[in-house]
Chain A
Amino acid sequence: MKWVLVLLMIAATTAGDVFRAAGMKRHGEIADFRPGAIGRALASLARNRFVILSTCSMTVSFFAFIKLVSIAPLSFAVPVSAATFVPETLLARFYLREVIDWRRWLGAGLIMVGVVLVSL
């Protein structure tokens, strides 16, 4: 059951992050932080289908996470969540069309190895 929760959390987090990034790219840069402008941005984001999909995915990820940490330690749950780096970086490249130079690939790789070492 532990690994079912891990897989569910990784899939839901990946979908949540990628849809959130896609929705926010379409919305455009948030540059005005006055309360009225933030209210208008939130009203527009609440109707953004990518943001809605992201919020649904993140809700699944949230419940998988709280269930996982009730049966396994945080020092297990946090490092396994680093597995999202692989699908998310690939989706950022091929779906979101971001330019990922060697520093980003190498950086993401170093972090994944580092997270595993920290959890040992």
Chain B
Amino acid sequence: MPATRVIHRKTALFTGIVVVSNVAGNSALTYGMQQLGDIGYSPLALIGALFHPWVVLGVALLILWTLSHMALLSWADLSYVLPVTAIGYVLTALSGRYFLNETVTSTRWAGIALITAGVTLVGLTSPSTTEHRP
């Protein structure tokens, strides 16, 4: 398989892992923190929050996000990874529509269309434009 095809397949796979772990991780963290209520600003209370089961799940997903994001950035540009992973904003909005039965307003659909157009546009560029050391 030519090297560029390998890079494109790896990029697609790792972009998928980065997006799903980020969206699911943020949702789990938010759900957990909202269950805990207002815990104030003391560092001990914030560290204590790390033991809530939903926060534990969120942190586990965040570790997966960290590792896959690092791997992706080892061969792809930040100015490529940042916009392409923005498809996560669309997934968050759509999961609200399909799992939480939230209504999606026309403004929100317009936003989803703009994000999708932007992600597609950046997705057309080559993932790497700088010399990455072998």
Residues on A facing B (Cβ under 8 Å):
1, 17-18, 20-21, 24-30, 45, 51, 58, 62-63, 65-67, 69-71, 74, 77-79, 82, 84-85, 88-89, 91-93, 96-101, 103-104, 106-111, 113-120
Given contacts A28-B132, A92-B78, A103-B124, 10 further A-B contacts (CB under 8 A): A25-B74, A29-B134, A30-B71, A58-B66, A66-B29, A79-B89, A82-B89, A110-B117, A118-B89, A120-B105
Say whether B12 faces chain A, with CB atoms less than 8 Å apart: no
Is A98 within 8 A of B130, CB to CB?
A: yes
Chain B residues with CB under 8 Å of A70's CB are 33-34, 36-39, 49
What does the 1/0 interface line of B90-127 toward A look like (CB < 8 Å)? 10110000000000010110111111111111101100
Given contacts A69-B34, A78-B89, A104-B122, contact A117 B39 (CB under 8 A): no
Say whether B15 faces chain A, with CB atoms less than 8 Å apart: no
Chain A residues with CB under 8 Å of B41's CB are 1, 67
Interface secondary structure of A, over-half rule = helix
Is A110 within 8 A of B114, CB to CB?
A: yes
Which of the four size classes fits the interface of chain B?
A: 35 or more
Tell me, rounded to whole Å, the shortest Cβ–Cβ distance linking A1 to chain B.
8
Is B121 within 8 A of A117, CB to CB?
A: no
Bound-state CA distance A84–B86 (Å) is: 12
Is B129 within 8 A of A108, CB to CB?
A: no
Tell me, rounded to whole Å, the shortest Cβ–Cβ distance linking A57 to chain B.
12
Interface residues of B in 12-31 (CB under 8 A from A): 26-27, 29-30
Chain A residues with CB under 8 Å of B108's CB are 117-118, 120
- Interface-centre pick from B82, B93, B116 (highest chain A CB count, 10 A): B82
Chain B residues with CB under 8 Å of A18's CB are 78
Is B77 within 8 A of A108, CB to CB?
A: no
Chain A residues with CB under 8 Å of B70's CB are 20, 24, 30, 45, 51
Of the A-B pairs whose beta carbons lie under 8 Å apart in the complex, a sample of 13, sorted by A's number, is A28-B133, A66-B33, A74-B30, A85-B83, A93-B79, A103-B122, A108-B122, A110-B117, A111-B115, A114-B118, A115-B115, A117-B114, A118-B90
Chain A residues with CB under 8 Å of B62's CB are 62
Chain B residues with CB under 8 Å of A101's CB are 125
For B119, give its contact among A63, A96, A111 (CB under 8 Å): A111
